[in-house]
Structure 1
Amino acid sequence: HSNNRIPPEGAIHLTTGLKVNKAIKLLNINRSPIRSDGCHEILQSVKENQNSVMETLKLSDIPVNQDFEDLYKAVKEIFPLLRVKHGGTFGILRKALS
């Protein structure tokens, strides 16, 4: 299901379970107001779980920042089959102009 309105605090609870998850392959939390920080924490939890079987994170319509993109690159080295769909990256233009 998507559009389940998981608040930013809810992402913290998801991360606890994802750190030990050995079964969930697809997590669909599209259109939830967890913001980029919540997405980052969820992805970090997958990274910390050596036994993760996660294949797809659907975070559509949730814009993420460059820190998330950097973490995703690191996670892809550990879990090369993991796919993440999100609402685009913000902050790229500002960094490019700096």
Structure 2
Amino acid sequence: MIFSKEYVGYLARHTVKHLIDAKMIRTDKAKVVEERVHNGLLEELQLEDRINEEVRVILEAYQDDMRKTGASYPEMFKKVKQELARKYKAVL
């Protein structure tokens, strides 16, 4: 993940505070909203990590075939990652 979990927590708190101050949302339970925003941000930010791990598993399964055909690992990683991002409808 490109951000630390502490920074994601800061972003969540700041976002919720901004939304409340701008009267875009109303809540009596700001901490609950912060927690939900924090969890949502973490999930989205960890999506690329999960996709990268899935790509590694897929390419490991085809390692011998790639070696036989002379396929470039970085090139194949990029192609498989693009396909998985499309499959999960992720913007990376």
How high is the TM-score relative to the length of structure 1?
0.24
Instruction: Give the structure with higher Rg (CA).
Output: 2
Q: Which has the higher strand share?
A: 1
How high is the TM-score relative to the length of structure 2?
0.25
